Structures are given as C-alpha cells and as structure tokens.
Amino acid sequence: VSNISKQMIPKVEAYHQRKLSDKFFFVYLDATYIPLRRITFDREAVYIAIGIKPNGHKEVIDYRIAPSENVENWTEMLQDMKSRGLEQVELFLSDGVVGMKTALEQTYPKAHFQRCLVHVMRNICAKVRVDDRETIMNEFKQIHQQPNKEAAIKVLHAFYDKWNRAYNHVIRNLKEIEPDLLVFYDYPKQIRASIYSTNMIESF
C-alpha cells in the first residue's frame, strides 16, 4: 500500500495543479462526508466541483478534503479554479452553505446561482412535524415540475399560503431565498431536470 501511495501522490498533485478549461456551462458544488483514516477513523468533508462543458462533456474539476464544510474552504477552492484558467461559468448549483452565494459573486460575478431544491426540501422536512412531511414533500416537488417559471411561482406562493400559519419560520426562510429557487426555469425545458439539484454529485 505504501508503494502504491508513493506512485499515486505525484499524480494526485499534478491533477490538482492542471490547467482548466476556460469555460464551463454548469458547475455543481457540494460536499459529501466519507470515513477517512488518519490517526483514527473519522468522517471528513470532501468538497467536489463537477462541471458540464458547452459541448456536454462532464468533468470533475477539482476536489478537496477538510474536517468540515465551510464557506472559507469553498472560497479558496473557487479562487484556485479561477487562477488555473476557469474564467467563465454560466450557472452554479449548490446547497445552502452560509456565504456561498457571496463567495460565488466575488469570484464569478457574471454567473447565475441556483440553490439545490433537494437540499431545500430536506431542510424543510427536518423542521416540520413527522405527520406533515409526506404531504409537504409532495407539494414542494410540484415547484420544479411546472411548464414555466410563472406557473412555478404560483405553486410556490400557494405553498406559502397553505403552510405559513403552521410553519411561519420555514416559510419566512423560503421567501428569503426565493430568488435562487427558480433560476433553472430560465433555461431550456430539455435540461431543467438536470439543473435544479446537485444530485448528480451524490450519484457520482
């Protein structure tokens, strides 16, 4: 194992330093926790950026490992990606890490931002009564199944009206992030199913 590691380390270092394509159409950002052995076994965050090029090619742009997920590590990773040649991104997709949108605006000010609706739904389900979860989940899913943005806005606002009395804090939080929930409707219908969540990273 030690000999294999010695052979791999230079390749890993070269991967992290390689020149990047100057343009990606979509970039998915997410962190997943996996068990790693250092002194002991522990779960650590693996930050992953996967991009789709204008020609449709998918590429793992970069990854990093850290004890936990925070916006400082994401900011360093974004700045490193830019310094290695990635100049232009049309749309970033990410979960609700505090400060992520600001970090993206500072590094890629022309890029658009879509918040992962699956993460949003999970956060809602964690804050509501167990008896309401299935109904709320099914109703929230309707938001990304509409024919256009106008219809989605109507469904979202109906969701607000129905659940505001029971879960005012949940609805208030949703309203604060509403501008980032429906950005994917600005793109062609054929690709919308691929750009409202970061599920591709989880499957990868």
Local confidence pLDDT in tens for the 204 residues of the chain: 899 999 999 999 999 999 999 999 999 999 988 888 877 778 888 999 999 998 989 999 999 998 888 899 999 999 999 999 999 999 999 998 889 999 999 999 999 999 999 999 999 999 999 999 999 999 999 999 999 999 999 999 999 999 999 999 999 999 999 999 999 999 999 999 999 999 888 778
What are 15-26's pLDDT values in tens digits?
A: 999 999 999 999
SS3 assignment, position 53: coil
CA distance 149 to 49: 27
Domains of the chain, by residue range, sit at 2-115, 118-183
CA distance 46 to 32: 5
Helices (H) and strands (E) in the chain, counts: 9, 5
Q: Which architecture characterizes domain 2-115 according to CATH?
A: 2-Layer Sandwich (3.30)
DSSP per-residue codes, 151-185: HHHHHHHHHHHHHTTT-HHHHHHHHHHGGGTSGGG
What are 44-81's pLDDT values in tens digits?
A: 889 999 999 989 899 999 999 988 888 999 999 999 99
Copy the structure tokens of residue 67. Answer: 């004890």
Report pTM.
0.91
Q: For the chain, list the strands marked E by DSSP.
A: 23-37, 41-52, 58-66, 88-94, 112-115
